[in-house]
Amino acid sequence: MTFWNAYILVIIVIYLITFFLRNLRTYLNVRKSIRGRSKKLTTSLFLSSIIYLLIFIQLFNPTFNKILIVIDSLQLDWVQYFGYFLIFVALIIGLAALFEMRNSWRVGIKHEQKTELVTTGIYSISRNPYFLSYDLLFLGIWLIFPSLILLVLVLILAVVFHFMILEEEIYLAKVQGTPYKNYKSNVRRYL
């Protein structure tokens, strides 16, 4: 395994472990399920799992890229280095988002649970930093392993995330009211 493959692996493992630990810690603190139910959420979890699986296979078996339909014109050193940079930025944003949410963290919308509106830290810069971090992570991965199959999966996942965000905005406007509307008018959806 090359240094860069180990770098990618470490970032993804940290990303996944911190997501798991945030879910576990929030669940233990609130003693209720923190996972919503929706087709969009299920689709996003399914697609991201497929992307992670393809990446792990690629990391341990580089010849797998033939199956992924590699886009040769994008296999440039500077493009890959930008991808490495993006996945590091994604990790930092994701960690900051997970930390700042504390017990307000939910996976999907839990209609029966009202949580505190978080507007501080990274949430003062982006209303959806965790979704942003996922988009950056998968864009960076795609730049490192530019393939047609990964591109299609990443684009579909980004669209699903966007629709999840739109649904969450409607929910938060209804549940949080004026404080959310003021927050929404002052902080952008992504950046």
Coil vs helix vs strand at 143: helix
Q: Which residues pair with 107 in a beta bridge?
A: 35
- The confidence score (pLDDT) of residue 85 equals 98
- 147: which DSSP letter? B
3-26+34-105+112-186 CATH, one of 3.30.420.40, 3.40.50.1000, 1.10.10.10, 1.20.120.1630: 1.20.120.1630
The predicted structure's pLDDT at residue 62: 83
Q: What is the pLDDT at residue 44? A: 97
Task: Please enumerate in sequence order all residues whose Cβ is within 8 A of that of 156, keeping only pairs 6 or more positions apart, or say none.
Answer: 47
How many Cα neighbours within 13 Å face the side chain of 138?
26
Q: 106 to each of 55, 69, 168, how far by Cα in Å? A: 26, 36, 11
Give the pLDDT score at 26. Answer: 94
pLDDT at 113: 86
Quote the pLDDT of residue 176.
95
Give the model's pLDDT for residue 1.
Answer: 82
Mean pLDDT by 10 residues, the chain (191 residues): 95 97 94 92 97 95 84 93 98 98 93 92 98 98 96 98 97 96 97 91
Q: Which structure tokens are listed for 27? A: 């669940």
pLDDT at 91: 98
pLDDT at 49: 97
DSSP per position, 12-74? HHHHHHHHHHHHHHHHHHH-S--B---HHHHHHHHHHHHHHHHHHHHHH-GGGGGTTTB-GGG
Give the C-alpha separation, 89 to 42, whole Å. Answer: 26
The answer to whether 38 and 108 have CB atoms below 8 angstroms apart is yes
Per-residue pLDDT at 68: 87
- Rounded to whole angstroms, the Cα distance separating 181 from 140 reads 32
What pTM does this model have?
0.94
Neighbours of 61 (CB within 10 A): 10
